[in-house]
Structure 1
């Protein structure tokens, strides 16, 4: 069986935050007022970097403009988003990281909403993805978060996926930039840290974890 390589998405596989750019995209489409967006997104960014993000509130903010949208229409919107924002989110390291494991099974595991994670997974032609799932009724988005893939929630989702697909988390490669991924880092001895913040950098240095700088 192939080895498993797990990639975080934002600021790891991508050189920016996909949901930040998604929010800007929804502003450009008229889904969110610019003033509301600027105030909220900056506050969420500060909380995320400090490890104090209210993840449910954050996801509700991103999902609210999509309430009532048909999921098939959302797929088309995500394709448009990636085409118009890929130059801001993809850099040479993106392809370097993917090339490292071109002959292995490549899984994207991200706290981002799974329609975004799915979009980039398909764009890069990777094998599978895990993201934060949202509620759909009668093929319409309700605006409610279903199951988060954030912090310990990401570890749980990865473990469940590995059990179903006969992989072992502890034998996998894992790439991330975020201190919020510490639960998964701790169980993956093959973790590689990408341009970390100070907290994660200190942890990586103390535990002899490889650091790559973008």
Structure 2
């Protein structure tokens, strides 16, 4: 039995769902465009450099979720999916996921983006298993705008994956082959412990590392 892990943003989708969500909110007048663009650029430069403070970023990124009820957010997300996400899911990505499923592999998306944004995208891709940033809820079940637990970012992806495996009575070594597909240098910790790391439309740092290590490099862009 094999395990196939996929990063989401800029890997299975040709864009960043964490960036597309505020773009969607800005178009509807919910977020201030100048302030958000300035802050988003600040965090994105950190992300590209591998120096992102994930907790500082999550405080910024999750705050708008606390302004709406869950039902309001679900309505907004359905519109966001249609306008911003479905157009950037490449057919090759769908086919790669389907190929692993047809082979009987356990397929998972493991992402540093929060579960509210990513769970519907995982369902669209037909992926049942998802590790994402978990969100704190108040007594009424609405989001507080804060994360909970270990963020699934950089080495946190290993922590969260090991927790998931342990809950199943497994370890990574329980699988004959373990794949991890990612575009980002931030995923080098997890890519370094699977048996089959694959660079997908990779950033320059990951691409150079993949070439040095002899890892395959592919594109899923149509």
TM-score (norm 2): 0.89
Tell me which residue corresponds to 1:64.
63
RMSD: 1.7
Map 1:31-42 onto structure 2 (within 5 A).
31-42=30-41
Do structure 1's residue 169 and structure 2's residue 175 form an aligned pair?
no
Contact (CA 8 Å) 2:17, 2:85: kept in 1 or not? no
* Equivalence for 2:112: 111
SS of residue in 2 equivalent to 1:199: helix
The number of residue pairs the alignment matches comes to: 213
Q: Tell me what 2:18 maps to.
A: 19
1:5 Cα deviation (Å)? 1.0
- Once the two structures are superposed, residues 176-198 of structure 1 have per-residue CA deviations (whole angstroms, 9 ceiling, x without a partner) of 11111111011102111101112
Aligned to 1:135: 136
Q: How does 1:1-214 map to 2 (within 5 A)?
A: 2-103=1-102, 104-138=105-139, 139-147=141-149, 148-170=151-173, 171-213=177-219, 214=221
Residue ranges of structure 1 left out of the alignment (5+ in a row): none
TM-fit CA distance, 1:143: 1.1
Alpha-carbon displacement from aligned partner over 1:89-119 (angstroms, at most 9, x marks no partner): 2122222321331222211100001111211
Unmatched 5+ stretches in structure 2:
none
Q: How many Å separate the matches in 2 of 1:92 and 1:123?
A: 12
- TM-score, normalization: structure 1? 0.92
Shift >4 Å, 4+ stretches:
none
